Structure 1
Amino acid sequence: MEPKAIHLGPGADLRKSLEALAQEELAEGFVLSVVGNLSKAAFACPGSNQPTVLSGELEIITLQGTVSPKGVHLHLSFSDGDCQVWGGHLEHGSEVLRGADVLVGLLKRSNKPGSPTVPGQPRIKLAVAEGCPWSSRAMRMLRSLGIPFEQAAPEAGSLPQIWIEGTMIGGYEDLADWHGQGKLERFRTGS
């Protein structure tokens, strides 16, 4: 296990920050400890379809659960100004008030197919058709960005087919959307 300490400043979204950490590290883990406060807490109570949102000076008591590049499952408890304790599943929109320090224990990266662990190993796979202009564009885009990829066997459907870290994202237009949103930057060689 590798401990990873992160400090979150005012306005940071607690859940998004932990999701981003798992994505950046490409590792699974769990929250070891937390100290800090929130200006807004968004949490799902058992049996409720909508998150509950409370605002004020809210002191974090506990945060526990798991983080992974595929998502997080976290439980939050906190107290309000009257020392009333609240809690539930942590949702997006929980904003840090003055600061929060979180210690996460990251586990060794898995060696399962589709979850690369070696720097420079392709994390993107393409199934392409020879002579297909969309397949050619997808490969050209990745090459021009300096992003390694490997070819894969196609599944049923149109080509190209693109998988990122083991998850099919779709075809060329989906890859172009990822590029437009800056999501491909972390796959560049040397990133």
Structure 2
Amino acid sequence: MRALPLHLEAGSDVRRSLEQLALEHQASGFVLSVVGNLSRAAFACPGKTAPTLLQGELEIITLQGTLSPGGVHLHLSFSDAECQVWGGHLEHGTLVLRGADLLVGLLDESPSPAAGATQMRPRVEIATLPGCPFSRRALRMLRTLGIPFQEIEATGGGSVPQLFIDGVAIGGYDALAELHSRGELEPLRGL
């Protein structure tokens, strides 16, 4: 593992910055530490269909979770001017106020036997619709488990999400959760 310091300037989107870091380094990892403040926090609370937005001078308390070229899954906690603590899943639109300093641990990947070969498509594909809570849950589960996937925006009136493993339709979120509970998603993990 290598530790990489990351300074975010005022106005930086925290989630986008970490997604970009994982893409630039083509590496998976996790947040080791963070200090800084926010002008706006966007976070998903359990059971809510849309992110919660808070604005003001917000002090970051913790930021933890995983990142990879396929996406991030991060939990944020912060306090407001009254020292009330808030938290949830970090969403796009969380903006740095004056600055934030993070230390990110990137995992050293050992080269695969097919190093240099054409990059294979992920074995999992998921059709989603923006704003669909079950699509968000399925995406969150895939990211949390470290399963590489390709997201496709659904068209038409069918139910979402729809998941495919190696081109075979498995169903929606409930089917994905059932496979996870039986341990059948383990071979799909990228880490």
TM over 0.5, yes or no?
A: yes
Report deviation, 1:108: 1.0
Distance 1:84 1:113, change over 3 A: farther
Aligned to 1:160: none
Q: Equivalent residues in 2 for 1:26-45 (5 A)?
A: 26-45=26-45
Residue identity over aligned pairs, in percent, reads 64
Distance 1:123 1:62, change over 3 A: farther
Which 5+ residue runs of structure 1 have no aligned equivalent?
127-165, 171-191
Report deviation, 1:9: 0.1
SS in 1 for 2:27: coil
Aligned to 1:145: none
Q: Equivalent residues in 2 for 1:108-147 (5 A)?
A: 108-112=108-112, 121=116, 123-124=118-119
The superposition leaves residues 102-160 of structure 1 with CA deviations (integer Å, 9 ceiling, x where unpaired) of 1000111254578x5xxxx355579xxxxxxxxxxxxxxxxxxxxxxxxxxxxxxxxxx
Count of residue correspondences: 126
RMSD over aligned Cα atoms: 2.4
Q: Give the ranges of 4+ consecutive aligned residues of structure 1 lying more than 4 Å apart after TM superposition.
A: 122-126, 166-170
The 2-side partners of 1:100 and 1:66 are apart by: 18
| Structure with greater Cα Rg | 1
Aligned to 2:75: 75
Which 5+ residue runs of structure 2 have no aligned equivalent?
122-147, 153-191
Distance 1:169 1:44, change over 3 A: closer
SS in 1 for 2:47: coil
Amino acid at match of 1:37: N
TM-score by length of 1: 0.60
SS in 2 for 1:12: coil
- Work out whether residues 44 and 88 of structure 2, in 8 Å CA contact, stay in contact via their aligned partners in 1: yes
Aligned to 1:58: 58
